[in-house]
Amino acid sequence: MSLFAPDAAPPGRPYWWEDGAPLPALATIPPERTDVLVLGGGYTGLSAAITCADEGAKVTVIDAAIPGQGASTRNGGMFGAHPRLPYETMKSRFGAAAAAACYDESVAAFEFTRQLIQREAIECDLQLTGRIQMAWSRADFDAQKRLVNSVRSQSAINMELIDRDELSSEIETSRYHGAIRFPGHAALHPRKFHDGLLAAAIKRDVVVVRDCPVTEIRREAGRFVARSGSAAIRADRIIVATNGYTQGLSNWLRRRVFPLPSFIIATEPIASTTLARLAPGGRMMVETRAQHSYFRISPDGSRIVFGGRAAMRPTTPERAAARLFRTMTDIWPELRDTRLTHSWSGFTGYSFSHMPAIGSHDGFHFAAGYSGSGVAMAPYLGMKVAYQALNDPRGETVFSRMPLTTRWFHPGGQPHFLTAADMWFRHAVDRRDRLRMRRNG
Ligand SMILES: Cc1cc2nc3c(=O)[nH]c(=O)nc-3n(C[C@H](O)[C@H](O)[C@H](O)COP(=O)(O)OP(=O)(O)OC[C@H]3O[C@@H](n4cnc5c(N)ncnc54)[C@H](O)[C@@H]3O)c2cc1C
């Protein structure tokens, strides 16, 4: 039997695209001159554009495709920020003060983005759900206990431990060994959030240009000249906000921020009583295993949206759906007869340190490398990079101190090392997880 419902959307189409405002009419030819040129019309680029416009600059946002159709309308809508690296790892790499500051600024990033939504009256189904991160093994739960102990004394981030025998109030499954609850995290509809940011930028007379890939940035007489096809745009300042979709531009950035795919499925509608039983906590749910499943109930309460690292390389929506479905029904066996309506993917911009980075190179400013957690962080660092481009001290952030490094095995372009990583993932990690699934139940 097919995994997909008869009325399923075409493979690859995100569930979020079924809902949202029609795309406003956007220019396809850029202006010849602008104060600030922002490359990339996702959360980072639009937030940067809004900040620069509020400071009185004439701003142009140029996107290689349709703004938002990078990661910003494809993600899981899990809204919260806490660093990907364990506190102790950050402390040993960057020092205790920077590690604590990273946690504190993660809280600040969430607050900034929440206030941006409020200030611009963006209707994006914001729900203050909280999030749980579930431990896949006993060792993972021990690590979670250590993390909570060290972070609690160092930062303002709110984390609570949930023992295994209390987990049933959050989720109906026996798969996990405990969890961390982040009561301050939230959920939103990614496409509606992007629609709202786009509208806020346009309201400020920001010129937004679509289908206009910039392939060259040059300096000329103290200014920048960006080229897209035969068009040349002169700008005083350039912000590169292309993250995991950086193409045709800056091999320096592409060597440091590489595209790692993430995959999501959406189920057909499920009875509300069933959803309330499967996920009584109603939270955003993520887990600690390497395939990094993240899942939630859709904003309208009708279905499950289930994401994960079904592969480390692009694969077909059908193949990714089969893998995600297997994981979902391992957690909730009663969904075995539930069909899918959507399967899609997108590229997260990953840094080798797993930390976001912001700074400048060759005169252009950039913010990128959110490593799969950008709903709160991308708008926040978009604002920060805007201030940095304007030489405003409000651009100060601890993430400027995160080194953005590369590796000898990644010369830029397609990240071929992910082929080897994918093989390791399939054969070692996947096999280990399957064995554990069998042992657990
Ligand atoms: C499947 C998936 C699930 C995710 N889930 C979550 C989640 O639940 N929670 C969370 O916090 N984060 C999540 N993320 C991460 C989050 O979506 C991203 O961090 C965030 O959207 C990054 O926004 P951005 O504006 O930096 O980049 P993008 O939204 O990717 O935008 C980059 C833009 O740059 C444009 N561009 C590229 N090259 C050029 C060029 N040469 N000229 C002009 N334009 C160019 C592209 O066309 C694109 O529109 C997820 C990501 C994916 C892919």
Higher pLDDT, 97 or 15: 15
pLDDT band at 222 (very low <50, low <70, confident <90, very high): confident
| pLDDT at residue 347, rounded to an integer | 95
Instruction: Choose which residue among 69, 112, 214, 242 to substitute to test ligand 1 binding: the one with the highest number of ligand atoms within 8 A of its C-beta.
Output: 242
CA distance 401 to 210: 33
Q: Quick check: 167 pLDDT over 70?
A: yes
CA–CA separation, 339 vs 355, rounded Å?
Answer: 36
**Closest among 257, 333, 324, 326 to 292, alpha carbons compared:** 324
| Residue-wise pLDDT tens digits, 107-142 | 999 999 999 999 999 999 999 999 999 999 999 999
Whole-number average pLDDT of the chain: 92
Q: Do the Cβ atoms of 288 and 134 come closer than 8 Å? A: yes
Measured distance between the N- and C-terminal CA atoms of the chain, rounded to whole angstroms: 25
Q: Which whole number is the average pLDDT over 69-77?
A: 98
Q: What is the DSSP letter of 254?
A: H
Cα of 68 from ligand 1 centre, angstroms: 7
Q: Please give the residue that has the higher pLDDT: either 97 or 201.
A: 201
Kindly give the distance from the C-alpha atom of residue 259 to the centroid of ligand 1, in angstroms, as a whole number: 10
Distance of alpha carbon 267 from the chain centroid: 21
Residue 272: Cβ within 10 Å count? 11
Other C-beta atoms closer than 10 Å to the C-beta of 149 total 13
Q: Looking at the predicted structure, is the pLDDT value of residue 435 above 70?
A: no
How does pLDDT run across 396-428, given as a tens digit for each residue?
Answer: 999 998 889 888 878 887 788 777 777 777 666
Q: What is the mean pLDDT of residues 295-307?
A: 98
pLDDT at 185 over 90: yes
pLDDT, position 416: 82
For residue 368, give the ligand 1 atom closest to its CA.
26
What pLDDT shows up at residue 440? 55
- CA of 190 from ligand 1 middle (Å) equals 11
Ligand 1 pocket, Cβ-based, cut-off 6 angstroms: 39-45, 62-65, 67, 69-72, 74-78, 213-214, 241-249, 262, 264, 294, 307, 345-348, 370, 372-375, 378
* The predicted structure's pLDDT at residue 378: 98
Question: Confidence class of residue 7 from pLDDT cuts 50, 70 and 90?
Answer: very high
Residue 137 CA to ligand 1 center (angstroms) comes to 31
Structure tokens at 46: 């639009």
The torsion angles phi and psi of 409, rounded to 5 degrees, stand at -85, 5
pLDDT band for 100, please (50, 70, 90 cuts): confident
| Atom 25 of ligand 1, residue of closest alpha carbon | 42
Phi, psi of 36 (to 5 degrees): -120, 125
Residue 223 above 80 pLDDT?
yes
Token pair 């140029």: residue = 62
DSSP, collapsed to helix, strand or coil, labels residue 364 as strand
- Distance (Å, rounded) from C-alpha 134 to C-alpha 140? 9
Mutate to test the pocket of ligand 1, among 17, 63, 127, 286 (most ligand atoms within 8 A of CB): 63
pLDDT of residue 161: 96
Residue nearest ligand 1's atom 50 by CA: 75
**If you average pLDDT over residues 308-331, what whole number do you get?**
91
Distance 246 CA to ligand 1 centre (A): 10
Distances in Å between the Cα of 103 and the Cα atoms of 38, 263, 382, 401 are 28, 27, 18, 14
- What interhelical angle do 377-389 and 96-119 show, nearest 10? 100
The pLDDT tens digits for 233-257 are 999 999 999 999 998 888 899 999 9
* Residue among 17, 75, 116 to mutate when testing ligand 1 (max atoms within 8 A of CB): 75
Cα 318 to ligand 1 centre (Å): 22
pLDDT of res. 20: 82
For range 44-62, the mean pLDDT: 98
Q: Is 45 left (phi over 0), alpha (psi -120 to 50) or beta?
A: alpha
Identify the structural domains of the chain with CATH numbers, from first to last: 21-440 (3.50.50.60)
Q: How far is the CA of 138 from the centre of ligand 1 (A)?
A: 34
CA–chain centroid gap for 188, Å, is: 12
Half-sphere exposure of 249 (CA within 13 A, CB side): 28
C-alpha angle with apex 68: 63 to 71, nearest 5 degrees?
110
pLDDT tens digit sequence for 335-379: 999 999 999 999 999 999 889 999 999 999 999 999 999 999 999
To the nearest whole percent, how much of the chain has pLDDT over 90?
76
Range scoring the smallest mean pLDDT among 16-25, 29-38, 380-389: 16-25
Give the number of other CB atoms < 10 A from CB of residue 271.
9
Q: How many residues belong to the chain?
A: 441
Residue 85 sits at φ, ψ, to 5 deg, of -85, 145
Highest mean pLDDT among 23-27, 49-53, 144-148, 311-315: 49-53
Cα 78 to ligand 1 centroid, rounded to whole Å: 14
